[in-house]
Structure 1
């Protein structure tokens, strides 16, 4: 099982350092050392009280199997440890050092996020494509941004924008030149999409509203869904549900969300796709509206992902809403506000 959204992952076990590939992934390796007499006493207490064994049998097993196995397989791994902690949980000095180191590592991660946010006000990344703001597009934005727009009108004009956005995004897929014969017997030089599959993945719930526009223009397209919600206590995105089509690694993936403010949910969704072996430059992130912060964050973390939207707004407020924005798209679309 893959874990997403965790700031700290603790991997524990007596053979935790046995796998060399796993060792490469660990930021800090801690060996908790316990006196051999204490280990024997603990085993005696457990096996006699909980397993109904006698003292002689426990000691015989300890000397014949447990102690030799510890000396051969576990004790030598202390050499790869960054910190050796004697007395376990009673060693408060060692625990404080470990906690301080974890905090310092988390600060480095937050500094990377701050660096992405610092790009605000800078030129937008080249991987971003914004639908041309024609009078028609601007007119539809005026309607869906208006707080007094009825739900029926909001849905209707949102769907129109989604269709235009999908069509615009498809123009970035690789096409090859082909020649076909017309009914009049003349030749026409045209374009055709390569035979690789296209898969649509929506970030629930609001991203699901874009599926209809995608299926309307892409015949027999496969669909996947990702549910990512923000933890109200930590402010961090959390993955709650994932369903992707099989053998997605070679597909061009259109990742859909209605709005992107900070980019946190979008970045987690991209990370999920990459962990399923989708190539980064084959991921197209589509959204009706994005904030500059979200655009820069996604582009900073994943510089080869294509970012496509109908408009980019300047700011995000304290509640992480896009300003001037569109309101809560899901609530307005589904009528749950």
Structure 2
């Protein structure tokens, strides 16, 4: 309706919406409350008054206090979060996304959201994320992939004469590549588009570790390659008048636009583009959601389907590892520190259950220093010639690589960082927090912080002990997802079980494994035998029930992998 009014008439209509509010509500009060969602061609109705959502028509007018019952399926439990000030740590981690071979077992579940401008796509996406109650969800907006405008195009945009709703305004090549990598579990960089300057900001956002990807945009169904990447396609169908009011509110308050310019752009570009490019793609949708975020029936059905898909993709990696690789010779990629009397003496002290904590820490640090020095001897080097103070030429060796990065598997792997810093000047350090789920027994990724451009470095991956190799395997997989080359990863551990060695070597045959000793077996609780006990508990002085150190509690949680 708005598209056929002049500028003054539009403004007058919006101004009189408040005066019409009581009449509208009075007329609606005589009707039974229901919400409809066209699900694959069918209509599902509800009668619990669930249509008054955050972006429904009622929200465009002053709020009216009404009671609303929520669907039982969307009843939320306590979120799996640990909050300290401005920092958030997820206590429900990401389960394995790969099989026992180290290869990706499951791709992320991609939900495509399409709809006209200001139809409520982002609101629907946020409602889905809230109802899913899963920490590893990424919301990817098509707005981030607008093309960088030339000076001529920027001049047109300044006068509201550039068509941002045309397919040519988007960088589909970059968008498809980014979504493909994200679906495959890789780390990606997302451009940040500045609607004020109509260009991309210098610092792109890094995203990694999605189990569910929600991709929303006005033309998300316009490209065949994008459609092939989607596991579920949702079209948000909202009345054109409501979309215009929302667009006015958003562009004026959030993007610094004036009302006349917004109306001009809507009539010249937005409305025709919707009719030509967006509305016809509704037939491609699996689900059509009328009224956007207020349609809780549709959101409920979507969430149920996503949960069922995630359940089907679960895999038990640790159970498979516990029975694999029995009676096989140790791999050639394994290097064990020579068992000299000194090394045997250090092992005697730290394995002894009666060793005091102070002595345990002191002699562990000595052994760590020897281990790190041994691991560095496997780094690639090249011949070089230098001049001595006596003016003589000396043929030596230099490190042949761009850089060295240390990555510790929290919490016990962090104890090895001082030894690495002592022998590698200005080494960069990253951290990965992996903990075992007490219910499933599977390792779960809770947090990671990796230096920028780690893909070009040789990485020293540090963990104090390795039993089944499940956590080490996950840590290596994380590095590979960040494009670190497999033959540039060095897994360094004070003590390993044979099973853990075989697990890592079988899944990643080019990873170098370095340790001070390999023990033969595991007990029923998957502890290394004869072993060293719980290294983290003995080092930090915590009991067996504690799984966090003070340092870990200070770390923020993020899907971002950069500092």
TM bucket (normalised to shorter chain) is 0.7 to 0.9
Residues 1-337 of structure 1: pairs in structure 2 closer than 5 A: 4-5=94-95, 10-13=109-112, 18=221, 29=231, 72-76=280-284, 103=312, 106=314, 110=316, 114=320, 117-337=323-543
Count of equivalent residues:
294
Q: CA deviation at 1:209?
A: 0.5
CA distance, structure 1, for counterparts of residue 373 and residue 412 of structure 2: 19
CA distance, structure 2, for counterparts of residue 226 and residue 120 of structure 1: 29
Tell me whether 64-73 or 239-248 shows the greater mean CA deviation: 64-73
Secondary structure of the residue aligned to 1:209 is: helix
CA distance, structure 2, for counterparts of residue 196 and residue 311 of structure 1: 30
Closer/same/farther in 2, CA of residues 219 and 68 from structure 1, 3 Å limit: closer
TM, length-normalised to structure 2: 0.46
Contact 2:464–2:535, Cα closer than 8 Å, also in 1: yes
Once the two structures are superposed, residues 143-181 of structure 1 have per-residue CA deviations (whole angstroms, 9 ceiling, x without a partner) of 111111111111111111100110001011011011222
CA distance, structure 1, for counterparts of residue 310 and residue 458 of structure 2: 40
CA distance, structure 1, for counterparts of residue 283 and residue 275 of structure 2: 10
Once the two structures are superposed, residues 215-270 of structure 1 have per-residue CA deviations (whole angstroms, 9 ceiling, x without a partner) of 00001111111111111112122222211111211011111110111112112211
Q: What's the Cα RMSD here?
A: 3.7
CA distance, structure 1, for counterparts of residue 458 and residue 273 of structure 2: 54
Once the two structures are superposed, residues 104-134 of structure 1 have per-residue CA deviations (whole angstroms, 9 ceiling, x without a partner) of x65xx55897378421220111211111111
CA distance, structure 2, for counterparts of residue 151 and residue 243 of structure 1: 29
Q: CA deviation at 1:298?
A: 1.3
Secondary structure of the residue aligned to 2:525 is: coil
Secondary structure of the residue aligned to 1:191 is: strand
CA distance, structure 2, for counterparts of residue 23 and residue 313 of structure 1: 51
Contact 2:384–2:397, Cα closer than 8 Å, also in 1: yes
Secondary structure of the residue aligned to 1:233 is: coil
What does residue 57 of structure 1 align with? none
CA distance, structure 2, for counterparts of residue 153 and residue 112 of structure 1: 34
CA distance, structure 2, for counterparts of residue 65 and residue 146 of structure 1: 74
Stretches of structure 1 that go unaligned for 5 or more consecutive residues are: 33-38, 48-63, 79-87
CA distance, structure 1, for counterparts of residue 531 and residue 511 of structure 2: 24
CA distance, structure 1, for counterparts of residue 401 and residue 110 of structure 2: 43
Contact 2:409–2:434, Cα closer than 8 Å, also in 1: yes
